[in-house]
C-alpha cells in the first residue's frame, strides 16, 4: 500500500473514531477535522457538547502499523479548542502570597534559596547588624545584601518614606527628631524607629520621612486676632428700657 493510500485510510476512519469516543462514554457531535500526525497516525476532532466545557473538542487518534494492518484507535481525549473556557494558569503559593496574608498561627517558611537571606557563615557586609554574634554562630541565616537593598527600597517607597503625603506636608525630617531611634547596621543612616506614640510609633521610618509631631515643633502662641479673643460671660451689658 502506498503512503497516500495509507493516509487516506487514516483520514477515512471517521466512524471508527466516533465509535471509540462513544465507547469511552462521550457524545461526539459534528466531525470538525482530521489532522495527520505522521505517516502512521491521524487525529479526528469532533464537537463536544459538555456542560462547563465550552469550546472543547473530542479527539480520537487512529493509527496503523502499515501495509495490511488494520486501523486501530490509540487514544480518546477531550482537548481545548480555540477560545475554549480554561481554568486560570496554576500559580505556586509562593508566588500568590502577598504582604498582609500572614495570620495568627500561620507558618510561612522562606524558600531554601531565598535571595533575601544568606547563611550566617557568609559575610553579608553588615557587621554591626550581627551584633556580638560571631560569624557562623547565633542566627542561622541573616539578610543578604540583596535582601537588605530590597527592604530599604520598599521602606523608602512606603507609607513612612519621604514621598508619602504626611512627609510631603511636614516641615521637619525624622533624622533631626528626638523621637527617632536609628537602626543598627548598614541601614542606620537611612532608617530608624519612631518612638512617638502620637505619630508613627513603633514603625520603621525613613530618615527623610517627617510629620507634624517632630520634637522641634513648638506650640503656637495664642493669636491676638479678634476672633480668638476670650468671651467674658461675667460682664453684664445694661440696656435702657422704654417705660
Ligand atoms: S515623631 Fe514624626 S518626625 Fe519624629 S520620628 Fe516620629 S514620625 Fe519622625
Give pLDDT tens digits along the chain (243 positions): 788 888 999 999 999 999 999 999 999 999 999 999 999 999 999 999 888 888 999 999 999 987 778 899 999 999 999 889 898 899 988 788 887 887 878 777 777 788 888 887 766 676 665 555 555 567 888 889 999 999 999 999 999 999 999 999 999 999 999 999 999 889 999 999 999 999 999 999 999 999 999 999 887 665 555 555 566 666 667 777 776
> How far apart are alpha carbons 56 and 45 in whole angstroms?
10
| 158 CA distance to ligand 1 middle (Å) | 15
Residues of each domain in the chain carrying CATH 3.10.450: 3-80
Task: Specify which residues 73 forms β-bridges with.
Answer: 62
DSSP 3-state assignment of 231?
coil
**pLDDT value of position 97:** 85
- Name the fold adopted by 3-80: Nuclear Transport Factor 2; Chain: A, (3.10.450)
Are 134 and 127 spatial neighbours (Cβ–Cβ below 8 Å)?
no
Contact 144, 116 (CB under 8 A): yes
180 lines ligand 1 (CB under 6 A): yes
pLDDT at 13: 96
The Cβ-side half-sphere exposure at 166, using a 13 Å CA radius, reads 17
Per-residue model confidence (pLDDT) at position 63: 96
Cβ(195) – ligand 1 distance below 6 Å: no
Ligand 1 and 207: CB distance under 6 A? no
Return the pLDDT at 104. Answer: 76
Does the pTM of the predicted model rise above 0.85? no
Distance separating alpha carbons of residues 36 and 65, to the nearest angstrom: 14
Residue 196 Cβ inside 6 Å of ligand 1? The answer reads yes
Cβ 205 under 6 angstroms from ligand 1: yes
Phi and psi at residue 61, in whole multiples of 5°?
Answer: -95, 125
Rounded to whole angstroms, how far apart are CA atoms 39 and 192? 72
Which among 41, 47, 45 has a CA at the least distance from the CA of 74? Answer: 41
Residue nearest to atom 4 of ligand 1 (CA): 214
- Between the CA of 116 and the centroid of ligand 1 the distance, in Å, is 28
Q: How far is the centre of ligand 1, averaged over its atoms, from the C-alpha of 211 (Å)?
A: 6
Q: Give the chain's radius of gyration (CA, Å).
A: 38
DSSP designation for 219: P
Which is the closest atom of ligand 1 to the Cα of 212? 2
Instruction: Supply the pLDDT for residue 93.
Output: 81
Amino acid at each position: 500500500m502506498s503512503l497516500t493510500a495509507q493516509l487516506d485510510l487514516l483520514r477515512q476512519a471517521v466512524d471508527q473514531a466516533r465509535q471509540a469516543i462513544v465507547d469511552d462514554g462521550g457524545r461526539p457531535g459534528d466531525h470538525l477535522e482530521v489532522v495527520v500526525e505522521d505517516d502512521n497516525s491521524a487525529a479526528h476532532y469532533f464537537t463536544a457538547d459538555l456542560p462547563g466545557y465550552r469550546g472543547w473538542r473530542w479527539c480520537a487518534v487512529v493509527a496503523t502499523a502499515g501495509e495490511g494492518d488494520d486501523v486501530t484507535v490509540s487514544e480518546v481525549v477531550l482537548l481545548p479548542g480555540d477560545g475554549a473556557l480554561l481554568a486560570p494558569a496554576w500559580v505556586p503559593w509562593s508566588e500568590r502570597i502577598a504582604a498582609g496574608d500572614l495570620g495568627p498561627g500561620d507558618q510561612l517558611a522562606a524558600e531554601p534559596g531565598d535571595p533575601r537571606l544568606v547563611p550566617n557563615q557568609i559575610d553579608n557586609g553588615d557587621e554591626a547588624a550581627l551584633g556580638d554574634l560571631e560569624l557562623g554562630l547565633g542566627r542561622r541565616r541573616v539578610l543578604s545584601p540583596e535582601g537588605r537593598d530590597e527592604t530599604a527600597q520598599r521602606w523608602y517607597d512606603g507609607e513612612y518614606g519621604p514621598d508619602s503625603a504626611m512627609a510631603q506636608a511636614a516641615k521637619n525630617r525624622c533624622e533631626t527628631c528626638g523621637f527617632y531611634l536609628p537602626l543598627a547596621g548598614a541601614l542606620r543612616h537611612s532608617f530608624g524607629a519612631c518612638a512617638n506614640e502620637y505619630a508613627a510609633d513603633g514603625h520603621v521610618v525613613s530618615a527623610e520621612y517627617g510629620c507634624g509631631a517632630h520634637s522641634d515643633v513648638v506650640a503656637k502662641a495664642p493669636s491676638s486676632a479678634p476672633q480668638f479673643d476670650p468671651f467674658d460671660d461675667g460682664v453684664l451689658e445694661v440696656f435702657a428700657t422704654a417705660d
